[in-house]
Amino acid sequence: MDRRTPPQTEEGWYVLHDFRSIDWDAWRNAPEHRRSRAIDEGVDYLAATERLEDADDGDSATFSVLGHKADLLVLHLRPTLADLDALERRFEHTELAAFTERTDSYLSVTEVSGYMSQDYFDEDGEVEDTGLKRYIESRLEPEIPDAEFVSFYPMSKRRGPDHNWYDLPFDERADHLSSHGEIGREYAGRVTQIISGSIGLDDFEWGVTLFADDPTDVKELLYEMRFDPSSSRFAEFGRFLSARRFPPENLGAFLAGEDVPQESAHPHGSSERGHGRSHGHGDDGSHHDHGSDSHHGDDEDDGVRSELEGIGVYAGKPHGEDVHAVVLYSAADPDELFEEVDGLRTNFDHYDTHVKTAVYEPSEGGDDAETAVVSLWETDRAANTAAGFLADLPDVVRQAGDDEGDSWGTMGMFYTVESEHRTDFVDTFGDVAGLLADMDGHRKTDLLVNRENEDDMFIASRWDSREDAMAFFRSDAFSETVEFGRDVLADRPRHVFLA
């Protein structure tokens, strides 16, 4: 008997799609005080789940379902089934639950398999590709994108007499999935997916949840995938449900039949949960930092800003700057990296919120020289979505904002140098770099140049500790650099959020 060996899987967070219909007759006939209580308790419940008051990890989101299949979708991701069980029962204790009926639900768990990386499952194996490792982690513990539109459907692989997925050799199945994935990558920046396994948990074998700001992007992606053999020969689908995300505090507008704003007046989103990092620059364009490549808490960020302000350095605001950024460092060949980034940038340009994406190369090479990719967006939501695609770039060694407990990073960005002063700027950086090399706690400082505009630069430094970096900001050498920057920069550097 020829028995196929199933690829190994590893599971992450459990996923519950909870679809509810509203009893509109009961809602219309209910007294005002009861409806008001239902809205208040519903907002409290939904907002608490999005703030993760019930768990240390996971994510939740609320959606208005389009069509007759349901009215409301509450999507939960949590580390354990017990977490989901408690959330379901807690909802039933709200007054809102009395006006709802569950029309559907789907239970699954995030997973990665040997199709993605066999090294991940080999004994003593290790995934050396940082980008792949980051992608695997994002698949196991995904963040719900802040996109407006969501499409959910369950699916299974066909086991018919003519086409049986499970009778194919592993290599053939892997080739099919690789080809399928290539189509998905063409929609990077436009469509984000959460794929979760449901064998033994629900009626189909997987649940697929697709997020986008433009629903036609999802339509185009799925239409193109229908012609791929992985779908045309081997896929069977359940019904599709589509919805629009809204903040919990807009539940009253949803129930009143009014336009439901997609933005929150008091957001419970990612910026309150530590996904953002504020990085800014002084009016003079000097190289100062106000944050770190480590996960410092809000209190420490505020302390850094206050301390810098005390020595006359503006370090950016904790929230509300005019652009948001993702910064990654890669050891890949710059030409290869630029080609990959240029492909992503083409997709990013479909969005009005995209400001720019560029590759910055070290002005001088070296054994430890790293190329940086900077992607700027008008919203934190868009920046965090883009980060998921950028993390899959080749040879990513770290993302600014990642935890590096043994060091402290500083970044000064958007030095647009007047062309006639470019050489002066580079020479002055060399002089400052020489001084930095002799300072206690200084590890490295790089001047990086936009490969498409040599007058656009930024400076990244790494220190043993925050105190070591602050010693430089208090130095005469730094003050002299500030004065020099006023004369040679073409315009005021922009303040950014670092997602």
Look at residue 499 and tell me whether its pLDDT is greater than 60.
Answer: no
Q: What is the mean pLDDT of residues 72-92?
A: 97
> Which residue would you say has higher pLDDT here, 424 or 314?
424
Residue 465 belongs to some domain of the structure: yes
Pick from 426, 441, 436, 444: nearest CA to 475:
436
What is the span of the domain harbouring residue 479? 274-498
Last residue of a domain, one of 225, 255, 285: 255
Residue 228 belongs to some domain of the structure: yes
Residue 265 belongs to some domain of the structure: no
Pick from 53, 55, 138: nearest CA to 402:
138
Q: What pLDDT does residue 209 have?
A: 97
Number of Cβ within 10 Å of residue 343's Cβ equals 14
* Residues 187 and 286 occupy one common structural domain: no
Report residue 31 CA to chain centroid gap.
43
List the single range of 337-346, 429-438, 475-484 with lowest mean pLDDT.
Answer: 475-484
Q: Give residue 9's pLDDT band: very low, low, confident or very high (50, 70, 90).
A: confident
Last residue of a domain, one of 255, 286, 304: 255
* Residues 21 and 161 occupy one common structural domain: yes
Please indicate, yes or no, whether the overall pTM of this predicted structure exceeds 0.85. Answer: no
Q: Which residues contact 257 (CB under 8 A, 6 or more apart)?
A: none
* Residues 192 and 333 occupy one common structural domain: no
pLDDT > 70: what percent of the chain?
78
Q: Give residue 314's pLDDT band: very low, low, confident or very high (50, 70, 90).
A: low
CB 282 within 8 A of CB 294: no
pLDDT > 90: what percent of the chain?
41
List the single range of 252-256, 294-298, 371-375, 382-386 with lowest mean pLDDT.
Answer: 294-298
Residue 262 belongs to some domain of the structure: no
Residue 161 belongs to some domain of the structure: yes
What's the CATH code of the domain at 22? 3.30.70.1030
CB 107 within 8 A of CB 369: no
Q: Give residue 293's pLDDT band: very low, low, confident or very high (50, 70, 90).
A: very low
Q: What pLDDT does residue 321 have?
A: 57
Q: What pLDDT does residue 170 have?
A: 87
Catalytic residue among 45, 106, 135, 153: 153
* Residues 85 and 200 occupy one common structural domain: yes
Q: What pLDDT does residue 128 have?
A: 56
Residue 2 belongs to some domain of the structure: no
* Residues 292 and 234 occupy one common structural domain: no
Look at residue 366 and tell me whether its pLDDT is greater than 80.
Answer: no
Look at residue 284 and tell me whether its pLDDT is greater than 70.
Answer: no
List the single range of 38-47, 107-116, 173-182, 381-390 with lowest mean pLDDT.
Answer: 381-390
CB 242 within 8 A of CB 460: no
* Residues 349 and 405 occupy one common structural domain: yes
Q: What pLDDT does residue 495 have?
A: 54
351 catalytic? Reply is no
Angstrom distance (rounded) from CA 207 to CA 88: 19
Last residue of a domain, one of 211, 227, 255: 255
Report residue 205 CA to chain centroid gap.
26
Angstrom distance (rounded) from CA 495 to CA 479: 20
What's the CATH code of the domain at 473? 3.30.70.100
* Residues 441 and 405 occupy one common structural domain: yes
Mean pLDDT of the chain: 81
* Residues 340 and 444 occupy one common structural domain: yes
* Whole-number CA gyration radius for the chain: 25
Q: What is the mean pLDDT of residues 289-296?
A: 35
Angstrom distance (rounded) from CA 119 to CA 25: 57
Q: Most confidently modeled of 38-42, 140-144, 439-443? A: 38-42
How many domains are contained in the chain?
2
Q: Give residue 123's pLDDT band: very low, low, confident or very high (50, 70, 90).
A: low
* Residues 236 and 311 occupy one common structural domain: no
Look at residue 286 and tell me whether its pLDDT is greater than 50.
Answer: no
List the single range of 131-145, 253-267, 350-364, 442-456 with lowest mean pLDDT.
Answer: 253-267
Q: pLDDT for 125-168, tens place per residue?
A: 565 555 556 667 778 999 998 899 999 999 999 998 889 998 89
Q: What pLDDT does residue 266 have?
A: 35
Q: What pLDDT does residue 285 have?
A: 33
Residue 103 belongs to some domain of the structure: yes
* Residues 216 and 329 occupy one common structural domain: no
* Residues 340 and 465 occupy one common structural domain: yes
For 463, the 3-state DSSP assignment is strand
* Residues 409 and 438 occupy one common structural domain: yes
Residue 1 belongs to some domain of the structure: no
Q: What is the mean pLDDT of residues 52-56?
A: 94
Element (H, E) at 278: strand 277-279
Angstrom distance (rounded) from CA 324 to CA 320: 9
List the single range of 216-225, 339-348, 431-440, 489-498 with lowest mean pLDDT.
Answer: 489-498
